[in-house]
Amino acid sequence: MVGNNKWHFLQEISKPYCPEILEALQSESVRFTDLKKICKSQKTLTQRLRALEDCGVIEQEMRKERKKRAINVYLLTQKGKTAIGIVQEIAKL
């Protein structure tokens, strides 16, 4: 079943908008509202973010801004940093 998990991982990160989401998170953490510029459909964006979280390539972090309410941001995990390298290499083909 381990092989299946690898294929599932590749299927998830290659879905529409996933490479763009990973690239957006490459240099900084990003809020959901900022990611809506990549994917206009809130439902699709939510699905993609959950799938990327389930694969362990991104994670949510709660941040409290000064005198403001807390916000959720998304950031790459170490696995996500590796995945973005793979995605960029595949894009060169």
User: Please, what are the domains in the chain?
Assistant: 2-92 (1.10.10.10)
Q: What is the pLDDT of residues 2-56, one digit of tens each?
A: 446 778 888 888 899 998 999 999 989 999 999 999 999 999 999 999 999 999 9
Listed in sequence order, the DSSP H helices in 14-92 are 18-24, 32-35, 42-55, 78-92
Q: What is the pLDDT of residues 50-91, one digit of tens each?
A: 999 999 999 999 888 777 788 889 999 999 998 888 778 877
Q: Is the dihedral of CA 43, 47, 52, 58 positive or negative?
A: positive
